[in-house]
Chains A and B, each alone.
Chain A
Amino acid sequence: MSLTSASGLIGNTKEYIYRGIQQLPLILSLTSFFLTVTTGSIAHATLFGGLTVNAFIYAANPVFTR
């Protein structure tokens, strides 16, 4: 692997983690949604309920999504 592609990989991973952490409320909400749907677990369902409220406040507010 050349140095250019290695630095590109590291740069992309860094950007991926950066953006992922910026959108963490949505990420956590959709992960719990997925686990609710696939496992039928009530624990995940309540977690999804709580996180969805948080995610909607986050997504509806342009201050966080800029």
Chain B
Amino acid sequence: MSSAQTQALPQPKPGVKEFIDKVIAVLIPIVVEFLRLLPDGLVFGVALLSLLSLCTSYGVLLFSMFELMILQRLFAGFMGSIAPTGAGQNATAAVCQNGFAFPNMLRISMVDSIGKASTFPSSSMFFLVGIVTYVISSIQHFKQEITTLGGDVNMRTTIASSLSVLFILFMFIYRINYGCDSFGNVLLTMILGLVAGVALVIQNLALFGRNGINILNLPLLISATEAGKPMFVCAPTSV
């Protein structure tokens, strides 16, 4: 009965199966390289964007990235003196190593150099969760501008939050699946990163003002009455 059912199932053509295998064989190393490069590539990409556009908010974002790395080092130093734990069983594997790799196996990673690798909190997860939280919470400060410009704040927030949660979940599964970090380490790191991201927005708001966290580069709305300037309204003509 079962053998007859097996025979009845349509088998993929050998050509199609080979093609799918080839596509997967090409895709997986690229995606792994993409995820491995993500924290350091992001630092480089934002540095390049801020340099080319001379945009304050990207400069402040870059500054916050360095702050996150220093925070991770401080946490790791503190936790390491109490209980040096957190790395997964496969932490030294190539897929778990952040940064730019050279053909001679030399590796340069700013996230692991300024921060501290293979310890609690996980350097790459702390950095990514912190930055994602930073951007999402900074957008929340521009609800009025988005609404005035005709955008739907709720839809944008929902899309951004859903995509960010999916992205963090994907990174979580990736780090656990390849044995880069232990489960508890990643989970607690995510909570710490979340707190750090929100705290950095509050800090930058106080230091640089609203313009410093304006990631979307929206024109800021300032109330004329708050600025102490007279407000003129067009009167209806009598003609």
Contacts and interface: CB of A to CB of B under 8 A. Distances in A.
A64 B132 CA distance: 30
A19 B42 contact: no
B103 interface: yes
Interface string A19-56: 11001001111110011111111000000000000011
Given A31-B45, A38-B136, A66-B103, A19 B108 contact: yes
A60 interface: yes
Contact of B42 (A15, A34, A40): A34
A36 B166 CA distance: 13
Contacts, number: 82
B112 to A, nearest CB: 12
A40 B26 contact: no
A39 B139 contact: yes
A23 B100 contact: yes
Interface stretch (B3-11, B12-20, B156-164): B156-164
Interface residues of B, number: 35
A43 to B, nearest CB: 10
Contacts of B44: 16-17, 20, 27
B55 interface: no
B163 A26 contact: no
A59 B33 contact: yes
A31 B136 contact: no
Interface residues of A, number: 26
A38 B135 contact: yes
Nearest to A28: B45
A24 to B, nearest CB: 8
Given A16-B108, A19-B102, A30-B42, 19 more contacts: A12-B113, A16-B44, A23-B37, A26-B33, A26-B37, A26-B41, A27-B44, A27-B45, A30-B37, A30-B38, A31-B42, A37-B164, A38-B135, A39-B139, A39-B215, A40-B157, A55-B34, A59-B29, A60-B30
Interface of B: 26, 29-30, 33-34, 37-38, 41-42, 44-46, 48-49, 100, 102-103, 106, 108, 110, 113, 131-132, 135-136, 139, 156-157, 159-160, 163-164, 167, 215-216
Interface of A: 12, 15-17, 19-20, 23, 26-31, 34-41, 55-56, 59-60, 66
20 contacts: A16-B100, A16-B108, A16-B110, A20-B48, A23-B37, A26-B41, A27-B48, A28-B48, A29-B34, A34-B38, A37-B164, A38-B164, A39-B215, A40-B157, A40-B163, A41-B216, A59-B30, A59-B33, A60-B26, A60-B30
